[in-house]
Amino acid sequence: MILHLFRLVWNRRRANALVMIEILVCFLALCVVLTSAVRFSSRWNEPIGFKYKDVWQVQPRMGAFTQSSEEQRLVMKQSLAQLESGTSQHPEVETVALCANAPFSNNSDSQTIFIDGKRHGLLVTKSSLSLKALLELELVDGRWIEDADEALAWTPMVIAEKTAESLFPDSNPLGERFPSFNREGQRVDYDDLEPEDRGKDYRVVGIMKNIRRNGEVGTPVHVAFVPADLKSAHSYPPTNLLIKVRPGTTAQFEVKLLKSLHALQPEWSFQVSTLEQRRRSVLRIHLLPLAIGSVVATALISMVGMGLVGVLWQNVGRRTSELGLRRALGATARQVQFQIMGELGALATISLLIGTIIFLQAPFLFPDLKLSWNECLLGLALSALVTGIFVSACSFYPSWLASRIQPSQALQYE
């Protein structure tokens, strides 16, 4: 019976081509939307590596102040240290830390590393020693940055698990010098680099759990934490001031905080926001394409559904003599109904097979999306299930009409 249905569909392939294309387009649209939904849902419950509740972020606006000279950088560092110290005096404040590459922000203080010959960005996050307690970062091995590290001849660095596994796959990175790369991307010994190619001498002292900077919708990033140098003029300071306030602190504290900041630096302006607000903004930005895609896919399916019902209804009317003859030869109403539904099911099966072949090329055609096979296969399965239900719903009424045809009605077309 199944082969017979596919034979009927093949014999009417020209007439059925448009229906197959409509089902194929709907299926591919569902694959994109549902795979994206699977991707977001699978990441949602994974740990993001830090805590953002009750954390505020202050971004100073320094006006015409620049960091072009060592003297200005030193003045800026002294001013930032003064802000950090002054803010910590408020009773509403638990912890304060200066930090580059703040969570849920677009700041990008980074350097280039190479993994398997491919270029990647490493977020080199200069921070105060208190950042670990403020964001509740969790160490896997080693230690965090300490005050005593100022006496070292090299710069201590804490890296994420992802970075450690990528750059030190066969060894424990603790105590090791962070790898250096030449201009061609080849790993070289630090002492063999030309003086102009040498950066700081970083050495790994700790490994922490992976961080997803954009929260639930983000992926783990390559990140390294190094101490913020606020005493010398040789480097640029971090300009994000993170404040962990006590639970229950209201928005009224923002007015008090701004007054104290302006009192310390009257020529600067400040933008205050919470990490929870920034998280919601990131979620809106990342989920907006999914919402738009869902609306478009729903509208497309609705239009295709109405078209399918109309086409099937018309086909039933044209095949009255054929279906009436089947009833005269002993076919029951249920058998006729199953025939019409089975023909559309055969068309849908062909469309789904073609769509599956097309969609499975996505991980190869778009490697930057980093789609996993589990996400693709689960998205395909859900799309096939929804398409099957959709096709069955569209074919139910026309097939029911076909089952009502009586043998005598075939005589009208003789």
Under DSSP, is residue 17 helix (H, G, I), strand (E, B) or coil?
A: helix
Q: For residue 266, with 0-12 CB atoms within 10 Å meaning exposed, 13-18 middle and 19 or more buried, which class applies?
A: exposed
Burial class of 387 by CB neighbour count within 10 A (0 to 12, 13 to 18, 19+): buried
- Global confidence as pTM: 0.78
Average pLDDT of adjacent 10-residue blocks, the chain of 414 residues: 60 69 87 89 87 92 64 82 90 92 83 84 91 93 90 90 91 88 76 63 92 89 89 79 92 90 88 92 89 88 81 70 71 74 79 89 77 86 90 80 69 57
Q: Judge contact between 283 and 216, C-beta under 8 A.
A: yes
Taking CA atoms, 72 is separated from 62, 68, 233, 293, in Å, by: 12, 7, 8, 49
Q: What pLDDT sits at residue 15? A: 62
**What pLDDT does 70 receive?**
72
Which are the contacts of 202, defined by CB distance < 8 A and separation ≥ 6? 154, 155, 156, 157, 177, 178, 224, 226
Between strands 118-127 and 223-227, the pairing is parallel
CA angle 240, 243, 244 (to 5 degrees): 145
Domain residue ranges of the chain, discontinuous segments joined by +: 2-46+281-413, 63-267
DSSP state of 171: S
Write the CB contacts of 107 (distance below 8 Å, at least 6 apart in sequence): 100, 101, 240
Inter-residue contact 283 to 214 (CB < 8 Å): no
Q: What is the pLDDT of residue 19?
A: 80
